[in-house]
Chains A and B, each alone.
Chain A
């Protein structure tokens, strides 16, 4: 069965600092991996996705993630944090043969300090 683990339920960074949000996956088949962002009182918005093309995936708002099969990881990074990046971030996986349901991690709340 597929699953994702997000390390760190809270991450705090200063504005302008590197953002690194960790996600490890477990899958018996090649996975499709996603990062979603949820701003307060809003739905989820896709940041980026990995679907077995390039291992380095660029997304919206300056975020990117690298698929590392050897480490079963798909960490999300952004070189320079902005105040508007404060939100909750979810890593998710699909890839089952029978369904394309998303299986989410527990989320990481990102705080950005001035």
Chain B
């Protein structure tokens, strides 16, 4: 158990819908990262927050947004969903501040868009 929790585990929805994925980091970790894992794109970095502030953006679509709340949990919002958004979405956390720090991964949310 990494200490990072993600809910829900599975999500099945239809095209055009909007969903919210939730992540609670390990106790004491200030950085939260979101990654997408799909068969065609592999593991891709989406976005990072550090202590409530956006720190880095990767290949995140404009239809996707995220935030980190004062209690440090984070939510990833996916809207106008398309079939191609079906993937495993991972949240990771670390103490942050440097690339040397280990990132601890949650179990993921599997999103299926029908």
Task: State whether the Cβ of A90 lies closer than 8 Å to any Cβ in chain B.
Answer: yes
Q: Is the CB of A101 within 8 A of B33?
A: yes
In the assembled complex, the Cα of A36 lies from the Cα of B44 at a distance in Å of 14
The reply to whether B90 and A44 contact each other, CB–CB distance below 8 Å, is yes
- A99 interfacial by beta-carbon distance below 8 Å: yes
Confirm or deny: A73 has a beta carbon within 8 angstroms of a beta carbon on chain B. Answer: no
Q: Mark A31-47, 1 if CB is under 8 A from B, else 0.
A: 01010100000111110
CB-CB under 8 A from B44, the residues of chain A are 104
A103 contacts B by Cβ under 8 Å: yes
- State how many residues of chain A have any CB contact under 8 Å with chain B: 23
User: Contact between A43 and B103 (Cβ–Cβ < 8 Å)?
Assistant: no
Expressed in whole angstroms, the minimum distance between the Cβ of A3 and any Cβ of chain B is 12
Q: How far is the CA of A32 from the CA of B101 in the complex (A)?
A: 9
Q: Kindly list the 5 A-B residue pairs having the minimum CB-CB distance in the complex, ordered from nearest.
A: A94-B99, A99-B56, A100-B99, A43-B105, A104-B43
Chain A residues near B (Cβ < 8 Å): 32, 34, 36, 42-46, 49, 51, 90, 94-96, 98-104, 106-107
Since A90-B43, A102-B45 are in contact, a sample of 19 more A-B pairs with Cβ atoms closer than 8 Å, ordered by chain A residue number, is: A34-B102, A42-B108, A44-B105, A45-B2, A45-B105, A46-B102, A46-B104, A94-B100, A96-B99, A98-B56, A99-B48, A99-B55, A99-B56, A99-B99, A100-B99, A101-B58, A104-B43, A107-B42, A107-B43
